């Protein structure tokens, strides 16, 4: 059977809005899936939402809406947040999906039949936010959850129990025989000492919670939410249901989880599966927390970096790269906007972005845009650069595959630095002055181009959008996501087309300015922003609207104005007025826009320019071509001459104007 890969994220509670902590695991899972796919491995990524339990019931009550309506609306927010980040999952599971509910009941039935579930009485303390029973000193009148700092609920009711106590030795055998089951090592040791401390039987149902899956044959009881939630990893693949036939193909999984939910995944979950006689996951890989001011970012402290703020200033690739590179996966890591800007400027703008633009610019200038390949004897690729890049590739693969993303990227960036130094050492600009057709110049530029080609392929999982953009600018065909760097040979025959549109993949960010904007955003609610002062109308300019015609801010926000870069531009045949332009609006795919500016702008003057587009305009056909958006321009003078709106400073594609 060929190798397959199945990765899961935790399923997210729908009692809070998505923030960067949720985005973290999801982006990592997405990058890993891209890494495996690029290497030809049949892969499946699962994510979704955890929608049952007392806390969700309470959140809906607090909003005064029916629980289903509450969860539906938050699920949409999570889906939109992940779509905006460019996450490409294979399945979104909701624990309210009927196929999941039926399979959870089936799993319950198996454990019951095998003698692992019995009925009893539970008395103790419970945290609705952790969804966990807590061992507390019984003398305390009103104990508080140490994590959420909220009072615990007192529970005294009939309950079904899981025979956890019977699982201790089997779990310890598992950790001993399969050291890869819990990673990193420090988490494995934590779990072993917890289980060695003894396991009490676990209360597995509640009569005081209604929002959940009923116990089969005893619907007064609701199944414990973690039993329901953990089962998602198998029900999604079609275990116990026929909504999908993926269990035999993809199971066992790699589970990515935060350290706060280690015990549920590394102790409860294998215990349930062992009891049911189901194969165990391959690995539970535990990551650390993103911190702000030394504390976990999240809803509890209200200190999370907000995704909408990030999107206003940074591209998806910048966010993804930063999270993979800055925080060692498995450890806690402080995350700040300043560090993000520094990473973008040093690694992306000055690193990969600069290497790409200097290489492509030289090809444009010295070779009329046709990338040189070594031809005659004596014009070989540089052997040293080649071998350093081959070892960077091997190191990248080993580290990324072991989830050491930061070190994998360090290896790739060593390759970038090497090619950069090679160019500087061989000063092609001097060679070009001496003889623009020399073999040496050809060999130097060919080596740089070839090095760049391999480096772009290597960085695809961390920079899916920018690498595609650079690839296209290099005149290369195909989808880099589907080209395996390990089977791409150095100097192989390639079908390369001419290079003509070069735009920087990563504009340099102005730290001071962005920080000032972020600071003012966090103190100004969008509704509270005063309207911009109008400039006094002159006779040639259409007067501003009278008060009665003014629109509300709600009307304005319907218009999705985005920053874009023009990648290509050409005249529309048989039209004096229309230009066809291809723009990068910060989305996975570029867009085509038709603009009536051909009488005033030459196509070649537009390529590489930053513009503003109306991104949510319904598509329209002109001269048989579809236009997907509108370019903004001022209309000047009697003739209505268009002057394209642009920026005096660098701004990332996709940034919203508001
Ligand atoms: N619903 C449970 C998981 C059930 S999985 C069968 C849950 N949900 S959660 O929404 O509270 O958290 C989901 C994940 O987000 C956890 O892995 C948690 O560690 C992660 N994070 C939340 N805040 C985080 C940070 N500040 N940093 C990193 N990850 C964080 O728990």
Task: Give residues with Cβ within 8 angstroms of 254, minimum separation 6.
Answer: 5, 6, 7, 8, 32, 281, 282, 283, 285
* pLDDT the model gives residue 136: 78
Q: Which of 8, 9, 10 to mutate to test the pocket of ligand 1 (most atoms within 8 A of CB)?
A: 10
Q: What is the pLDDT of residues 603-634, one digit of tens each?
A: 777 777 889 999 988 888 888 788 889 999 88
Under the banding of pLDDT at 50, 70 and 90, the label for residue 533 is very low
Q: Is 482 a catalytic residue?
A: no
Average pLDDT over residues 464-487: 95
Q: Is 97 a domain residue?
A: yes
pLDDT of 12 strictly over 70? yes
Number of folded domains that form the chain: 3
Angle CA(611)–CA(617)–CA(622) in degrees, nearest 5? 90
CATH at residue 48: 3.40.50.620
pLDDT of 349 strictly over 60? yes
Average pLDDT over residues 19-31: 96
Quote the CA–CA distance of 14 and 8 in Å, as a whole number.
18
* Residue 348: strand, helix, or coil: helix
CA nearest to 589, candidates 654, 513, 637, 543: 654
Q: Is 22 a catalytic residue?
A: yes
Instruction: Tell me, yes or no, whether 539 and 523 share the same domain.
Output: no
Q: Is 54 a domain residue?
A: yes
Q: Which domain holds residue 457?
A: 334-528
Instruction: Tell me, yes or no, whether 275 and 345 share the same domain.
Output: no
CA of 120 to the centre of ligand 1 (A): 31
* Residue 302: strand, helix, or coil: coil
Under the banding of pLDDT at 50, 70 and 90, the label for residue 535 is very low
- The token pair that represents 94 in the structure block: 């909701």
Give me the residues paired with residue 626 across strands.
621
Instruction: Tell me, yes or no, whether 506 and 553 share the same domain.
Output: no
Instruction: Tell me, yes or no, whether 73 and 111 share the same domain.
Output: yes
Average pLDDT over residues 285-302: 87
Q: Is 258 a domain residue?
A: yes
Name the residue with the closest Cα to ligand 1, atom 13. 12
Instruction: Tell me, yes or no, whether 612 and 593 share the same domain.
Output: yes
Last residue of a domain, one of 502, 528, 554: 528
Q: Is 513 a domain residue?
A: yes
pLDDT of 4 strictly over 50? yes
* pLDDT the model gives residue 207: 95
Instruction: Tell me, yes or no, whether 524 and 545 share the same domain.
Output: no
pLDDT of 250 strictly over 90? yes
* pLDDT the model gives residue 141: 76
| Per annotation, catalytic residue among 112, 148, 511, 577 | 148
Average pLDDT over residues 638-656: 79
CATH at residue 597: 2.40.50.140
CA of 21 to the centre of ligand 1 (A): 7
Q: Which of 9, 11, 12 to mutate to test the pocket of ligand 1 (most atoms within 8 A of CB)?
A: 12
Instruction: Tell me, yes or no, whether 446 and 595 share the same domain.
Output: no
Last residue of a domain, one of 287, 322, 352: 287
Which atom of ligand 1 is closest in space to residue 257's alpha carbon?
Answer: 17
Quote the CA–CA distance of 29 and 39 in Å, as a whole number.
16
| Per annotation, catalytic residue among 130, 163, 221, 426 | 130
pLDDT of 482 strictly over 80? yes
Q: Which of 217-231, 390-404, 487-501 has the lowest mean pLDDT?
A: 487-501
Quote the CA–CA distance of 111 and 105 in Å, as a whole number.
10
Q: Pick 373 or 588 by higher pLDDT.
A: 373
In terms of DSSP H, where are the helices of 236-377?
Answer: 247-250, 262-263, 269-276, 307-313, 316-326, 337-343, 354-367
Q: What is the pLDDT of residues 555-579, one digit of tens each?
A: 777 788 999 888 888 888 888 889 8
Average pLDDT, the chain: 89
Q: Is 542 a domain residue?
A: yes
Give residues (CB < 6 A) around ligand 1.
Answer: 10-13, 21-22, 24-25, 50, 229-230, 232, 257-258, 260-261, 289-290, 296-298
pLDDT of 541 strictly over 80? no
Give me the residues paired with residue 614 across strands.
561, 630
Name the residue with the closest Cα to ligand 1, atom 23. 21
Q: Is 649 a domain residue?
A: no
Average pLDDT over residues 379-387: 87
Instruction: Tell me, yes or no, whether 181 and 90 share the same domain.
Output: yes
Under the banding of pLDDT at 50, 70 and 90, the label for residue 526 is very low
Angle CA(10)–CA(113)–CA(255) in degrees, nearest 5? 15
Name the residue with the closest Cα to ligand 1, atom 24. 21
Q: What is the pLDDT of residues 88-112, one digit of tens each?
A: 999 999 999 999 999 999 999 999 9
CATH at residue 449: 1.10.730.10
Under the banding of pLDDT at 50, 70 and 90, the label for residue 527 is very low
Instruction: Tell me, yes or no, whether 393 and 517 share the same domain.
Output: yes
Q: Is 426 a catalytic residue?
A: no
Instruction: Tell me, yes or no, whether 518 and 629 share the same domain.
Output: no
Instruction: Tell me, yes or no, whether 456 and 605 share the same domain.
Output: no
In order of 35, 90, 152, the CA distances from 3 in angstroms are 14, 18, 46
Under the banding of pLDDT at 50, 70 and 90, the label for residue 524 is very low
Residue with tokens 């001097």: 430
Instruction: Tell me, yes or no, whether 438 and 543 share the same domain.
Output: no
* pLDDT the model gives residue 375: 60
* pLDDT the model gives residue 138: 67
* pLDDT the model gives residue 547: 53
CA of 223 to the centre of ligand 1 (A): 21
Under the banding of pLDDT at 50, 70 and 90, the label for residue 554 is low
Last residue of a domain, one of 481, 502, 528: 528
Percent of the chain with pLDDT over 90: 65
Average pLDDT over residues 505-534: 68
Q: Which of 353-357, 548-552, 621-625 has the lowest mean pLDDT?
A: 548-552
Q: What is the pLDDT of residues 32-52, one digit of tens each?
A: 999 999 999 999 999 999 999
* pLDDT the model gives residue 637: 63
Q: What is the pLDDT of residues 294-336, one digit of tens each?
A: 888 877 677 778 899 999 999 999 999 999 999 999 999 999 9
Under the banding of pLDDT at 50, 70 and 90, the label for residue 447 is very high
CA of 260 to the centre of ligand 1 (A): 7
* pLDDT the model gives residue 378: 56
Q: Which of 85-94, 435-444, 530-539 has the lowest mean pLDDT?
A: 530-539
């Amino acid at each position: 059977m060929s190798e397959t890969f199945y990765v899961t994220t935790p399923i997210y509670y729908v009692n809070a809005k998505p923030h960067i902590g949720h985005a973290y695991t999801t982006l990592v899972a997405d990058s890993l899936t891209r890494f495996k796919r690029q290497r030809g491995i049949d892969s499946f990524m699962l994510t979704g939402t955890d929608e049952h339990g007392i806390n969700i019931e309470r959140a809906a009550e607090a909003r005064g809406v029916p629980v289903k309506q509450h969860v539906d609306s938050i699920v949409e927010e999570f889906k939109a947040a992940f779509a905006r980040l460019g996450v490409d999952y294979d399945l979104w599971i909701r624990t309210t999906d009927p196929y999941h509910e039926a399979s959870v009941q089936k799993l319950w039935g198996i454990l019951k039949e095998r003698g692992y579930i019995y009925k009893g009485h539970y008395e103790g303390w419970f945290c609705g936010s952790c969804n966990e029973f807590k061992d507390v000193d019984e003398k305390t009148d009103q104990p508080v959850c140490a994590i959420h700092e909220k009072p615990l609920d007192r529970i005294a009711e009939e309950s079904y129990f899981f025979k956890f106590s019977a699982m201790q030795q089997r779990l310890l055998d598992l950790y001993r025989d399969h050291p890869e089951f819990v990673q990193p090592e420090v988490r494995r040791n934590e779990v072993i000492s917890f289980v060695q401390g003894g396991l009490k039987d676990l209360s597995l149902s509640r009569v005081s919670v209604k929002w959940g899956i009923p116990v089969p044959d005893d619907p007064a009881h609701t199944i414990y939410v973690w039993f329901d939630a953990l089962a998602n990893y198998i029900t999604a693949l079609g275990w116990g249901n026929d909504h999908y036939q993926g269990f035999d193909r993809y199971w066992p999984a790699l589970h990515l989880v935060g350290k706060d939910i280690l015990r549920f995944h590394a102790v409860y979950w294998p215990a349930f599966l062992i009891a049911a006689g189901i194969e165990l996951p391959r690995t539970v890989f535990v990551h650390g927390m993103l911190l702000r001011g030394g504390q976990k970012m999240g809803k509890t402290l209200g200190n999370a970096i907000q995704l909408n703020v990030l999107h206003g200033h940074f591209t998806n690739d910048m966010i993804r790269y930063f999270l993979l590179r800055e925080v060692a996966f498995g450890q806690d890591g402080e995350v700040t906007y300043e560090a993000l800007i520094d990473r973008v400027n040093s690694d992306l703008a000055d690193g990969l972005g600069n290497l790409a633009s200097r290489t492509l610019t030289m090809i444009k200038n010295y070779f009329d845009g046709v990338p040189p390949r070594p031809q005659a004897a004596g014009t070989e690729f540089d052997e040293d650069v080649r071998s350093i890049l081959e070892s960077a590739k091997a190191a990248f693969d080993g580290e990324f595959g072991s989830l050491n993303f930061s070190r994998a990227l360090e290896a790739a960036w060593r390759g970038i630095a090497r090619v950069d130094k090679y160019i500087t050492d061989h000063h092609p600009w001097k060679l070009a002055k001496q003889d623009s057709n020399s073999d040496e110049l050809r060999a130097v530029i060919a080596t740089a181009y070839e090095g760049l080609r391999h480096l772009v392929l290597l960085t695809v999982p961390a920079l899916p959008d920018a690498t595609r953009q650079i690839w296209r600018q290099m005149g290369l065909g195909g989808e880099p996501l589907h080209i395996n760097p390990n089977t791409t040979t150095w100097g192989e025959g390639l079908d390369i087309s001419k290079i003509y549109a070069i735009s920087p993949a990563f504009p340099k960010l102005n730290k001071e300015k962005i920080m000032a904007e972020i600071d003012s955003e966090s103190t100004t609610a969008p509704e509270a922003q005063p309207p911009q002062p109008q400039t006094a109308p002159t006779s040639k300019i259409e007067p501003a609207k009278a008060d009665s015609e003014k629109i509300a801010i709600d009307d304005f926000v319907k218009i999705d104005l985005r920053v874009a870069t023009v990648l290509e531009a050409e005249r529309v045949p048989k039209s004096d007025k229309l230009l066809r332009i291809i723009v990068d609006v910060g989305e996975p795919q570029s867009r085509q826009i038709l603009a009536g500016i051909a009488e005033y702008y030459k196509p070649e003057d537009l390529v590489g320019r930053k513009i503003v587009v109306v991104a949510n305009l319904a598509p329209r056909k002109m001269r048989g071509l579809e236009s997907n958006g509108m370019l903004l321009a001022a209309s000047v003078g009697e003739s209505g001459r268009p002057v394209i709106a642009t920026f005096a400073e660098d701004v990332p594609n996709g940034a919203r104007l508001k």
